[in-house]
Structure 1
């Protein structure tokens, strides 16, 4: 899944291109030779220096500590510096487009703009020193400094423009996501979560009353309700005093539970601790009811055919899961599913049969994933499942189960006939990379291999898989 092509140049980009060409023309050929010489001698050291500056800021540690990113970034920075130093008027359009792609990536990953600005400022200072050392302080050196300054500033302006546009799009989508609330029926979801919370509480009471060994009892945070609230509830309701209070109460309940189970307390003391836990759970129920009352029945964001989420909110979900994984040192997995021989189904049985097949698969995905997971219709005959808080083994078990259930459950056509269907599934575990397109690209490559290996199977993404050909990137978030 290669990177998306940059969007068509807008009026601002045309202005930047004209300014860049003008500055290169004003600099003259001698200044161009000075800068081209620096590209050959100084670009590698500049790339190293740039990331040394970045590493000094703790905000960049999540990005720069990831080995895959670090090994990719430094060579990319070296090429970026060399390309700017060697820039000619004929290169400007491609360079502007490249800055826009870089700005989009920075927005997806969440690199603060001021860090990039600081890094480029330090690079310019070092390169000014190199110009003085190689060309002295004559007219060519001054022209080279002016040209270098303009190239770096225009490149940074192009990045920032794309960054701002991408962040604005993301903010609008995130706001729509919160309004949508990710529940198709608020009343049903409210009762379901209340029941899960009550079930957890009753299971705890039974375990303690029956004097069973409760050492391995599921924490509230790790329960089905807790996972739903962390991964769906908070983004659905939005950050608020109530959601923060529920998070605090869940943490308090789990801490009290650990103490209750760990201590050899007499029955009266344990009963008092249990009452304290139940009081906190009651507060969670009350706050949850208040939050549900604030959201209404919203249909935007649903795929009309399958009633699943459409891909509009996928970037929002993946960004949040990446943040949660970084904070909790946990992980999640992406499953990319493709219905096998879908074109043949449409051609042989008609589009109504194809629609029935898609609805059938959507029903299986919704039924046999957890309430905390996300199921999207990605487009055409493709679906995406985001499995939260799973490791590799758990993700593969779920993926194998879904693949088997699809193959064992034929579609009933309008005439009553049964149509066997299968699906190919690519599985990618989040590996710490902060760009959500990376995990999607890996799932895509794995799904393509599942197709090549005979379909109706699950393939796990690893470093040995080639990139899937002809794929488009995840829509801009």
Structure 2
């Protein structure tokens, strides 16, 4: 905070809450305390009528909690008790600005909200039996404090956003670099596998009557959640996106009974030409990429926490844009300390490495696997619903429990894991998702470990 809050800003705030302003500050505080709910209602009524702002406020849980938070923020902003903590008040404004940056709330919407609060407070002042000079002085003081709060929030917002942009660019470069040769072959194989399944369905028929869309197969998921971001600057990325769209639009022709054999064959030839084009563009993308190894956990080679904000915010943006869901699974190895105590830290490292490989091999290439620190991992499952996410989590838990872990000196051991699972429910702040998964993990530990718990509001 010291870097953000200059001495001048601190001095300006201090001068506004000095004893000489106490009479006007008391009037403001009294009015805000009496009408905090009304101010909050006015604020949200105006913001929800704005298309841009409503995107961030339409979630019921957010509205309910933010209404109370806004009321508390207003009251705390103008209250100056005997034990007034100026630094804590300033830090609160910084924290709010950082949250706004984290959920990518545009700064112009924050300033618009401040304008709403000023406008309605002016209306409330006019209803009071106060002389004009007092009304003007109160409104000026109210506005000045809100303006300094906005200045602090904007400063924190800009600083956090710049850090996020740097992290996102580093992550983009890392995504390109991580074992690109193996990833290239893996995705080409996934694309070929989808094409072979389509040909098989066309030849022998399909129980479902419709082949799965390319965008929803392993290659499609990888491309939309990782590849498109890693190669965002290349023209081939757009060409692959267009080819996927074209292919999916023609799938109906392949198995439709209403189409003639000639039309079906023409559709298959078109799809074949597009998949070949995708393979060509994919080769071009990987050929033009360069090796980079930042942001990887040294021990396990998983993603580390550095890219967590970037990945989570991108998944939230994707879920909002496509009306989809994703899941977060926190995995914590049970009684890990006892392994270090009994076999030594080298053995503990070996356990972490083998469990990491197990998690990576069991997840889709489109999913994200992080080492959060110590013996804790995070898996982000993209484009998934609750039942399927729970099945994946249970599969991971059982695989860990079943695996024979090889230790130094030809020793072996077994470990179990507790898992906390939550699904994106519309909240714009990824920290809320992580807290939910953490609460579910805590419950799994309380249940006796080696179990998976899905987050519910009852765990709050």
Question: Partners of 1:64 and 1:27 in 2: how far apart?
Answer: 39
Root-mean-square deviation (CA, aligned residues, Å) is 1.8
Structure 2 partner of 1:262:
256
Render the CA deviation track for 1:48-101: whole Å, top value 9, x for unaligned. Answer: 111112112212222211111011111111112222232469243222111111
Structure 1 partner of 2:381:
387
Equivalent residue of 1:181, what SS?
A: helix
Structure 2 partner of 1:230:
224
Structure 1 partner of 2:49:
56
When residues 161 and 460 of structure 1 are mapped into structure 2, their CA distance, relative to the original with a 3 A threshold, is same
Render the CA deviation track for 1:13-32: whole Å, top value 9, x for unaligned. Answer: 44322111112227522212
Structure 1 partner of 2:338:
344
Structure 1 partner of 2:284:
290
Answer yes or no: is the 8 Å Cα contact 1:135–1:141 preserved in 2. Answer: no
Answer yes or no: is the 8 Å Cα contact 2:302–2:369 preserved in 1. Answer: yes
Question: Partners of 1:17 and 1:378 in 2: how far apart?
Answer: 36
| Aligned match for 1:35, one of 28, 33, 53 | 28
Question: Partners of 1:326 and 1:403 in 2: how far apart?
Answer: 29
Aligned residue pairs: how many? 459
| Aligned match for 1:160, one of 154, 164, 173 | 154
Structure 1 partner of 2:411:
417
Structure 2 partner of 1:200:
194
Structure 1 partner of 2:124:
130
Equivalent residue of 1:385, what SS?
A: strand
Runs of 4+ in 1 over 4 A off after TM superposition: 211-214
- The answer on 1:20 being equivalent to 2:24 is no
Q: TM-score scaled to structure 2, two decimals?
A: 0.95
Answer yes or no: is the 8 Å Cα contact 1:303–1:377 preserved in 2. Answer: yes
How far residue 240 of structure 1 moved from its aligned partner, in angstroms, is 4.5
Structure 1 partner of 2:302:
308
- The answer on 1:429 being equivalent to 2:423 is yes
| Aligned match for 2:438, one of 440, 444, 447 | 444
Render the CA deviation track for 1:449-473: whole Å, top value 9, x for unaligned. Answer: 111111111111111114xxxxxxx
Equivalent residue of 2:378, what SS?
A: strand
- The answer on 1:119 being equivalent to 2:113 is yes
Which of 1 and 2 has higher RCO (CA within 8 Å, sep 6+)?
1
Answer yes or no: is the 8 Å Cα contact 2:177–2:290 preserved in 1. Answer: no
Structure 1 partner of 2:78:
85
Question: Partners of 1:202 and 1:431 in 2: how far apart?
Answer: 36
How far residue 160 of structure 1 moved from its aligned partner, in angstroms, is 0.7
When residues 192 and 109 of structure 1 are mapped into structure 2, their CA distance, relative to the original with a 3 A threshold, is same
Question: Partners of 2:277 and 2:223 in 1: how far apart?
Answer: 15
Answer yes or no: is the 8 Å Cα contact 1:196–1:224 preserved in 2. Answer: yes
Structure 1: runs of 5+ lacking an equivalent: 1-7, 467-477
When residues 432 and 72 of structure 1 are mapped into structure 2, their CA distance, relative to the original with a 3 A threshold, is same
| Aligned match for 1:318, one of 298, 308, 312 | 312
- The answer on 1:335 being equivalent to 2:329 is yes
Question: Partners of 2:239 and 2:42 in 1: how far apart?
Answer: 44
Structure 1 partner of 2:448:
454
Equivalent residue of 2:281, what SS?
A: helix
Question: Partners of 1:446 and 1:413 in 2: how far apart?
Answer: 31
Equivalent residue of 2:419, what SS?
A: strand
Answer yes or no: is the 8 Å Cα contact 1:99–1:158 preserved in 2. Answer: yes
Question: Partners of 1:409 and 1:207 in 2: how far apart?
Answer: 36
Answer yes or no: is the 8 Å Cα contact 1:38–1:85 preserved in 2. Answer: no
| Aligned match for 1:279, one of 259, 264, 273 | 273
How far residue 212 of structure 1 moved from its aligned partner, in angstroms, is 4.8
- Return 440-449 or 245-254, whichever deviates more: 245-254
